[in-house]
A and B are shown apart, each in its own frame.
Chain A
Amino acid sequence: MLALVLSSVPHLSDDFRAYQLGTYLLYGVAAQGVALAWGRAGFLPLGQALFFGLGAYSAGMVLIASQANATLLALLPLAVLLPAALAYAIARLVFARQYVSGPNFSLITLALAMLAAQLANQWSGLTGGFNGLANIPEIGGLDRYSTVYYLIVALVVASTALLGWLYRTPLGALWLAVAQNENRLQFFGFATDRLKALAFALAGALAASAGALYATQQGLVTPQAIGFELSTELVIWTAVGGRFGPYGALLGAVGIGLLSAELRDVWIHWQVAMALIFILVVLRFPAGMAGALQTYGRRLWPRSWMAGAESLSSQSAAAPNYLPAPPRNRAADTSTLEPIRLEFNRVNVRIQGVSILSGLQLHLRGAGIHCIIGPNGAGKTSSFNALTGRLPLSDGDIHFSGRRVSGLRADTIARMGIARKFQIPSVFSALSVRDNLCIALWGNRANALQLLQASTWRWRSTLWEFLIASFPFLETESDRHAGELSQGQRQMLELAMTLLMEPRLLLLDEPCAGLSVAETGQQTDVIKRAVTLIGCTALVIEHDMAAVARLSDQVHVLHQGRLLASGSLADIQGNPDVQAVYSGGQK
């Protein structure tokens, strides 16, 4: 439909209107890349013109060179592939060093764009310098003022279709999850830096292909196509147009861009109007113009295509022919025949002079549920953090079934079969309950190809059925956003998600916190049965002694970063050291 609308423009209006629209459509495609990275995957690229400009300059150089030697045209795809590869490399390098996004990525991309603009200006032998790379011929002899427009329309339709499809695949959901709670996603075994790098590479490819067509449409590429100003405009257009879907960016670039071009010569205060529009959009329409259109469209025509799907996975819920999920990827595991062994060997963690773990020595073997108790500040959660790569060790190491885990990344550890549930229930709040469960199921199971297939939404496992039976709300409220659940329900959801991973070692951090007595009973029940079903070892941190009593085969007491005592609950309760610690007799 988009193709129809856009293709008709030259006929309804005239050729140079189409020419002008064409340029802004190209900017729009680049902005779609920004929307993908920012609105979907949650990180803001402030230097996207870098890839646009790289695509433009490369394509320009190839086209100019091809005038002498036509076979060089085969190099044209490189104008898109090389910037995309660069984008991937940049994102991987930057995101590998941190586990959540911060402003530093944005500033790195900005600095790179500024650097590129400076080099484009300076290496005038290659790029034509300030005056730009001129006399770029038309591609394949197509007239730039008329026929190239259709090429642009083709690109726009292709990119919009591609993004629209991608957003509905499991990968699209994963990107949303990265944006909402990247930390948590890693604990399901997803290498979030690779996911983000993929998004950025695609964004780079979009920008570069737009740039390549820009080069032939304009016949001239100047450093302004690669620098800070265009990068900023792309972000502004995306923000105003709407960053949560592929149409928003197009709307922003064409709407605001064209509007500016028209107003600029007519009204002297057009920039003030623009500024007021930005402020208004931000305060009133956080989803941008596209979001506003969708909201009003939904109100006026509730059944139309504008309403959109409620949640990503609901499309699959409508047709319940479920597929059995493939077994968990055991490649990273040690042999399943061996009982698992977890060893903390003289683990020391010191931060800024404060000793968090001092010589923690804990050896666990075999299946069963072990409870870890201790007063506040004893180092219980810290031991989990140290185990799952969130707390660097100052001394000692941690081994899991013979393999050293201290110092590994969280997602690597998760893929080894260690699953963790957090103290404060940590789920993907803006995704539906069912989406959350799906993501947990895909962890360490879905390969890259399966993440692109719609059928992956229909995976279910026996454990899934068991969990639905144990926590009925998972089915009845499956379309609700996880953030709208009550605290108790969120605890149960997160437990379910952690269990779905079918890990070999289950780490539960206060799974019954904030639950009523009845809910606690339900929760502990599920934990016991699930542990038997999966055949794993569980480490449970708990304060509620009733829960401990119900769950534990073994209890370990931590105090001041050390293991104080181990044994059955009765042994522990009888231990005088433990009693002293709990009643305050010992410091």
Chain B
Amino acid sequence: MKRRSLIQKSLAIGSMASTGLLSHRQLFAAGPVKVGVMIPMSGPAGLFGPSAKNCAELAVAEINARGGLAGSPIEMIVSDAGVPPAEASQAALKLWKGQKVQAFIGMHDSAVRGALVGVFKGQVPYIYTSTYEGGECSAGTQVLAETPAQQLEPVIPWISKERKLKKWYLIGNDYNWPRDTNAMAKKYIAAAGGSIVGEEYLPFTTDNFDASLAKIKATGAEAVLITLVGGASVGFNRAFASFGLSDTVTRLGTLIEENTLAGIGAQNAANLYSSSGYFAAIDTPAAIDFAKRYTARFGAQAPPLNALAQSVYDGFLLLEAMANKARSMDPQKLEAAAKGVSFSSPRGQTTMQDRHGKKDIYLARADGSGFKVVQVFKQVGAGKNC
């Protein structure tokens, strides 16, 4: 690692000299920039840890090859964010104060996000990348995470028309992300001429969905909006199909990614749609190339790409864009630079607006053992958050 960064530093200096940009950049890089990566390595979301870590490593390697952040190479330090918020905030504090980490990229749940925001208090740049409920406006925080507005506002009208869906059943786990999502979804459904025939929130511990399925059947729902997470999503979807509902009822989820789909199983995934900012199956040149680079680096048996893991990669891209625009790692300058900064990623073009990322949204349908993108919604804003 040390030798590589030395080589990269000399390369950077060499290229700087040759292009004559010496006067505009730091002559001597001030040592590596430490970036803290908070991803869940244990707990229920721990299954995303390996793929997220890989994406982070890939991002770091590629950015360093391009000159790093404002000329300094990145040294990434991974910390487990799958632990209770108290422990996660301590881990972050240790990285920040102890290891002098200068920026954080976090892909974890909102409770941990709240704890970290409370620890950082805007004094260190913090990029939050996983899907969430919207509304994060704290100083120093940039949010790449998809909001319900992004994932549903263009999608619901399109799919309602495409599949002729009028009666919607909303089902999610009982916490703020599903509730906030459904609150917004209701508006979009009404605007598309549909109606809500049922709304249900399940405790995290539920593994028996029969009562909910019976209700879905009884109300004659034509579509189900799923905001269940993790194991509940897998269990629900399996049971859903076993009752024969998948042939007549369309399912739409906003957090159904490749791992969840694998658990659901192809035979249970008929008429299952997912709305997200990324799928491994996206066939734009940028996405295909990204997938190739991932496989080249980590092998064919590597943990499969998914939206949550890939969001970490995008987080690094955003940090790179901010650092290069600000030409420094100073938190104030980065904060200013983040306004309106834009970068292109395997997902397409992302532009920061109001602390959130305006980006392309993909609607995919489960197909065999993976997803197939059926519609792209370009440059969807994240809605009003701050």
Contacts and interface: CB of A to CB of B under 8 A. Distances in A.
Is any CB of A less than 8 Å from a CB of B in the complex?
A: yes
Contacts of B175: 121, 124, 129-131
B111 A218 contact: no
A134 B176 contact: no
B84 A225 contact: yes
Interface residues of A, number: 32
Contacts of B205: 114
A131 B94 CA distance: 22
B97 interface: yes
Given A23-B87, A132-B114, A225-B86, 11 more contacts: A20-B90, A23-B90, A122-B174, A124-B175, A124-B176, A131-B111, A135-B118, A218-B85, A220-B115, A229-B84, A265-B79
B54 to A, nearest CB: 14
B81 to A, nearest CB: 10
A564 to B, nearest CB: 61
B89 interface: yes
Interface string A199-226: 0000000000000001000111010110
A130 B111 contact: yes
Interface in A222-256: 222, 224-225, 229-230
A19 B97 CA distance: 12
B299 interface: no
B94 A222 contact: no
26 contacts: A14-B97, A15-B97, A16-B90, A16-B93, A19-B90, A114-B205, A118-B203, A121-B203, A121-B204, A129-B175, A130-B109, A130-B110, A130-B175, A131-B110, A131-B114, A134-B114, A145-B93, A218-B86, A218-B115, A220-B118, A224-B86, A224-B111, A261-B87, A261-B90, A264-B83, A268-B41
A114 B93 CA distance: 30
A222 B111 contact: yes
B15 interface: no
A453 B263 CA distance: 63
B90 A132 contact: no
Interface string A118-152: 10011010000111101100000000010000000
A122 B174 CA distance: 7
Interface in A5-37: 14-16, 19-20, 23
A271 interface: yes
Nearest to B84: A224
Contacts of B203: 118, 121
A211 to B, nearest CB: 11
Contacts of B42: 264, 271
B285 interface: no
Report, nearest first, the 3 A-B pairs whose CB atoms are least far apart. Answer: A130-B175, A224-B84, A20-B90
Contacts of A224: 84-86, 111
B326 interface: no
B324 to A, nearest CB: 29
A19 B85 contact: no
A158 B175 CA distance: 38
B91 A265 contact: yes
B52 to A, nearest CB: 14
Interface string B40-52: 0110000000000
A220 B93 CA distance: 15
B199 interface: no
A225 B86 CA distance: 9
A230 B176 contact: no
B79 A220 contact: no
A496 B203 CA distance: 58
Contact of A131 (B84, B91, B98, B176): B176
B347 to A, nearest CB: 27
A265 B80 contact: yes
Nearest to A23: B86
B78 interface: yes
Interface string A265-286: 1001001000000000000000
Contacts of B78: 265
Interface string B54-90: 0000000000000000000000001110011111011
A20 B109 CA distance: 21
Contact of B174 (A19, A121, A220): A121
A131 B205 CA distance: 17
Contacts of A271: 42
A229 B115 CA distance: 19
Contacts of A218: 85-86, 89, 115
A469 B199 CA distance: 80
A20 B42 CA distance: 19
B53 to A, nearest CB: 10
Contacts of B93: 16, 19-20, 145
Contacts of A230: 84
Contacts of A268: 41
Contact of A16 (B79, B98, B109): B98
Contact of B94 (A16, A124, A130, A225): A16
A220 B90 contact: no
A222 B85 contact: yes
Contacts of A131: 110-111, 114, 175-176
Contacts of A130: 109-111, 175-177
B118 A219 contact: yes
A230 B84 CA distance: 9
Nearest to A229: B84
A1 B81 CA distance: 36
Nearest to B97: A16
Contacts of A118: 203
A222 B84 CA distance: 8
Contacts of A20: 90, 93-94
Contacts of A134: 114, 118
Nearest to B118: A219
A220 B86 contact: yes
Nearest to B93: A16
Contacts of B94: 16, 20
A122 B179 CA distance: 11
A220 B114 contact: yes
Nearest to B109: A130
Contacts of A214: 86
Contacts of A264: 41-42, 80, 83
Interface in B88-111: 89-91, 93-94, 97-98, 109-111
Nearest to B110: A131
Interface in A96-117: 114
Contacts of B204: 121
Contacts of A219: 118
A220 B85 contact: yes
A579 B165 CA distance: 94
Interface in A401-423: none
A57 B108 CA distance: 23
Nearest to B133: A131
A268 B114 CA distance: 26
A14 B109 CA distance: 29
A469 B80 CA distance: 68
B86 A129 contact: no
Nearest to B94: A16
Contacts of B85: 132, 218, 220, 222, 224
A498 to B, nearest CB: 51
